[in-house]
Structures are given as C-alpha cells and as structure tokens.
C-alpha cells in the first residue's frame, strides 16, 4: 500500500451476546439493537470507516443470543451516514443470487455503503443442525470462489451467466444494481493455503486473524503473490483486540484479568469445534491451527496483534503493521462505547501524527551514498 494512504479502521459489531472475549470479566457491551445503533453513530464520529457484523445462527460457545448479520447490518446502515457495514455470510446457507439481491438493495438504500464478508464456514454443527451438507475444507473454499464470482457477475452484468460445480446462473438480471462501483466490496478471511489462493483470485479484501509482525508479513507476501499471478491486487485487514490505558502495566493487568476469568467450558468448546479447521488442511495452515487457550479467549486471536498498552505503544504497532501491508485494522474492545470513544480521542490522533511522519519520510529520498 502507499504509505501516504491513511490506515482504515473497522470494529467488530457486538451483535452476539457475550462480548468480544469469552470471559466472565465485566464487559459493558450489549448485543441489542439500541446499543449497537448508538455505537455505530459514535464509531463513525470517532474515525471508524467500517463495521463488521458477526454471523452466528445458533447459541454456542459464550454467544447465547445473536442477531442475524445481514438484517442487522441494514439497520446499522439506516442509522448512520458514512459508516460502511460489512455483513458476514456463509455460502451453503445463502444462495448467491438471493444475497446479491439483498445487498444490492441495502447498497442502494444506504448510498453505496453495504459490503459482505464471505465466511467459508468453521462451525459444522450449524450446517448439520439445519440439515445442510457439510463440505470438507478445500471444497468449502471452492464453493466460496464460485459464490464470489456469482455475486460479482450479478452485480455488474445485465445478462448474468455462470456455470460451475456449485452454482448455475443463466441470463439473470437483478435491478437495481448496487450504487458502489464497480460493486460492493467483498471481504474474505481464512488462514489456509486455500483461503490465500481464494483471496488472490477473487476477493477485494483479505482478513487475517490476529498475528505478530512476521506472521502477518508472511500472509501478505503469499496472498500478494497469488493475486499478482491473476493480474490483481488485494487489500489487507488485520484483527486486533485493543486495551488502551494510561500505562502499559494497567493495560496488561486488564489482559491478565480477562484470561484469568476466561469461561473455560466455552473456550474449550470453541477450540474443539474449530480444531478441524486447521487440521483438515494438508499443510496445517488453517484457521486456529496453532492457537492456544489464551489466544482463543479472544476468538479471532486478537491478543496476538498486541494492541495493548498506552496510546503511543498501540500507535507504534499500528504503524509497523501498516508498513508491512495492512490497509485496515479490525478492532474489538471490552467496553465498546467507552473504549471506541477513547480510541477516537486518544489513540487515533497519535496514529495519524505518526502516519504523517511516515509519509514525510517516504517522500524524502535518502542522500546519495547512504
């Protein structure tokens, strides 16, 4: 990415109960609509450009209640003016033609602010519980590639055609077309080789679970290589859990309390459910393949990104991730209303100041001979 381009920020929408950590620590966060409506307005006024609505269909692993992601995303779009809202969706539980129609309407209604995050599926019990077939790992990503190609075809072509192993579209036209050009943004996560190849071939954005510097750099390099082989470029988002306090010791004390009060039964249940995600790949690069108990207390490895400390320390790490290819940071918080506001007032200005320094440095060539 260009070092002159500002980092973008997204937040995980807490549309499922239990907050963003599977812990019995106090979390002043609510999964209901009124809370989330106020949060969305606060977030867009605090410098956030995106929000990602989670997808869970059944009570599980610390999330006893959940709002459906696409309907909830539309509600948040109607409550805001600038925020782009990304709805997480599962191929296999949606037909791409039906989803394309829904997102097109949401995009028109919101003035071009709807997006999707295509989740290839980790929770077998949701599929089997609904009586739907469960595909093994690489087959799910093959289906996701076709799913994304159908979305793009329907959003951009008046006589859509597609013939694949999972979906068939013939001379199909949806109107109105989306407002966003060339189409609503398509996000996609995953960690496996299949996920990385999928991003390189069809996705606009690749979401990474929480990673240290080297782990993130390795993902960026590989996905960029796959994208280049298709004559494409991909943008990168990175998950992180923010604990910003006036001192590093205070922030780390909060982290220790989160882990100490972890809901062991829920974390272990989640770990058991996702174990197949990493182990079912030939190279063991799948999601959560090397995640330990403490990592899974924040269920997308958000602690690994280490956005924990003072505003200055968090800003330094954000800038380093930007230098390594991050275009967006996807953030979770303990107490959303308070922490999002604090991030906007105390952390984001430090990041923006450091970005200006970085851009000036990039624009100033080194003297000859150095």
State the Cα–Cα distance between residues 315 and 317, nearest whole angstrom: 5
State the Cα–Cα distance between residues 142 and 145, nearest whole angstrom: 5
β-bridge partners, 114: 85
State the Cα–Cα distance between residues 67 and 65, nearest whole angstrom: 7
Per-residue model confidence (pLDDT) at position 299: 81
pTM of the entire structure?
0.92
First CA to last CA distance, the chain: 25
State the Cα–Cα distance between residues 212 and 321, nearest whole angstrom: 9
Place of tokens 């990673």: 211
The answer to whether the CB of 348 falls within 8 A of the CB of 9 is yes
List Cβ neighbours of 292 (8 Å cut-off, separation of 6 or more): none
- Mean pLDDT, residues 11-16: 97
Half-sphere exposure of 326 (CA within 13 A, CB side): 31
State the Cα–Cα distance between residues 206 and 209, nearest whole angstrom: 10
Per-residue model confidence (pLDDT) at position 365: 47
Per-residue model confidence (pLDDT) at position 270: 67
How many residues would you count in the chain? Answer: 370
Q: Between 60 and 264, whose confidence is greater?
A: 264
State the Cα–Cα distance between residues 176 and 100, nearest whole angstrom: 11
pLDDT at 196 over 60: yes
- Beta-sheet pairing, 168-172 with 160-163: antiparallel
- Kindly report, residue by residue over 289-323, the tens digit of the pLDDT: 666 777 789 888 999 999 999 999 999 999 999 99
- Mean pLDDT, residues 345-349: 98
Torsion sign across C-alpha atoms 63, 67, 73, 77: negative
Per-residue model confidence (pLDDT) at position 289: 61
Q: Identify which of 121, 128, 125, 127 has the alpha carbon closest to the alpha carbon of residue 198.
A: 121
Place of tokens 């943004």: 185
The answer to whether the CB of 104 falls within 8 A of the CB of 158 is no
State the Cα–Cα distance between residues 119 and 148, nearest whole angstrom: 11
Helix (H, G, I), strand (E, B) or coil at 65: coil
β-bridge partners, 235: 205
Q: How confident is the model at residue 363 (pLDDT cuts 50, 70, 90)?
A: low
Q: Report the mean per-residue pLDDT for the chain.
A: 92
- Kindly report, residue by residue over 112-150, the tens digit of the pLDDT: 999 999 999 878 889 999 999 999 999 999 999 999 999
The answer to whether the CB of 32 falls within 8 A of the CB of 329 is no
State the Cα–Cα distance between residues 122 and 127, nearest whole angstrom: 10
Burial of residue 282 (number of CB atoms within 10 Å: 0-12, 13-18, 19+):
exposed
pLDDT at 1 over 80: no
**φ, ψ at 35 (rounded to 5°):** -60, -45
What is the percent of the chain with per-residue pLDDT over 70, rounded to a whole number?
Answer: 91
Q: Identify which of 56, 34, 19 has the alpha carbon closest to the alpha carbon of residue 302.
A: 19
State the Cα–Cα distance between residues 208 and 53, nearest whole angstrom: 16
Structure token pair of residue 107: 């995009």
List Cβ neighbours of 278 (8 Å cut-off, separation of 6 or more): 191, 192, 284, 285, 286, 287, 288, 289, 290, 291
Q: Using the 8-state DSSP alphabet, how is residue 183 labeled?
A: S
Per-residue model confidence (pLDDT) at position 280: 54
Per-residue model confidence (pLDDT) at position 292: 73
């Amino acid at each position: 990415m260009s070092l002159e381009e500002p980092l973008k920020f997204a937040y995980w929408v807490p549309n499922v109960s239990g907050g963003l950590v599977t812990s019995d620590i106090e979390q002043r966060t609510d999964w209901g609509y009124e809370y989330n409506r106020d949060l969305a307005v606060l977030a867009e006024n605090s410098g956030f450009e995106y929000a990602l609505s989670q997808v869970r269909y059944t009570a599980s692993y610390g999330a006893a209640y959940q709002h459906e992601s696409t309907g909830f995303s539309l509600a948040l779009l109607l409550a805001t003016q600038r925020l782009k809202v990304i709805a997480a969706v599962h191929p296999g539980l949606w037909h791409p033609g039906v989803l394309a129609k829904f997102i097109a309407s949401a995009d028109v209604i919101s003035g071009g602010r709807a997006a999707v995050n295509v989740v290839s599926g980790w929770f077998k019990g949701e599929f089997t519980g609904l009586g739907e077939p469960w595909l093994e790992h690489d087959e799910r990503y093959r289906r996701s590639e076709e799913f994304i190609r159908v979305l793009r075809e329907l959003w951009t072509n008046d006589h859509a055609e597609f013939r694949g192993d999972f979906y068939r579209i013939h001379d199909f036209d949806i109107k109105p077309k989306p407002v966003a050009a060339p189409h609503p943004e398509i996000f996609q996560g995953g960690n496996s080789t299949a996920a990385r190849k999928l991003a390189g071939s069809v996705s606009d954005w690749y979401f990474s679970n929480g990673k240290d510097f080297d782990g993130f750099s390795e993902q960026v390099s590989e996905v960029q290589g796959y994208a280049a082989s298709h004559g494409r470029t991909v943008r990168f988002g990175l998950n992180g859990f923010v604990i910003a306090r006036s001192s590093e010791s205070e922030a780390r004390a909060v982290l220790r309390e989160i882990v100490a009060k972890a809901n062991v039964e829920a974390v272990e249940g989640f770990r058991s459910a996702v174990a197949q995600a990493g182990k079912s790949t030939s190279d063991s690069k799948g999601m959560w393949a090397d995640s330990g108990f403490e990592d899974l207390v924040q269920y997308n490895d958000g602690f690994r990104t280490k956005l924990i400390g003072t505003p200055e320390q968090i800003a330094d790490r954000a800038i380093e991730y930007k230098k390594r290819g991050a275009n967006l940071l996807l953030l979770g918080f303990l107490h959303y209303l308070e922490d999002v506001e604090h991030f906007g007032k105390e952390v984001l200005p430090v990041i923006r100041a450091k970005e200006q320094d970085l851009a000036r440095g990039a624009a100033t060539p080194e003297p000859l001979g150095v």
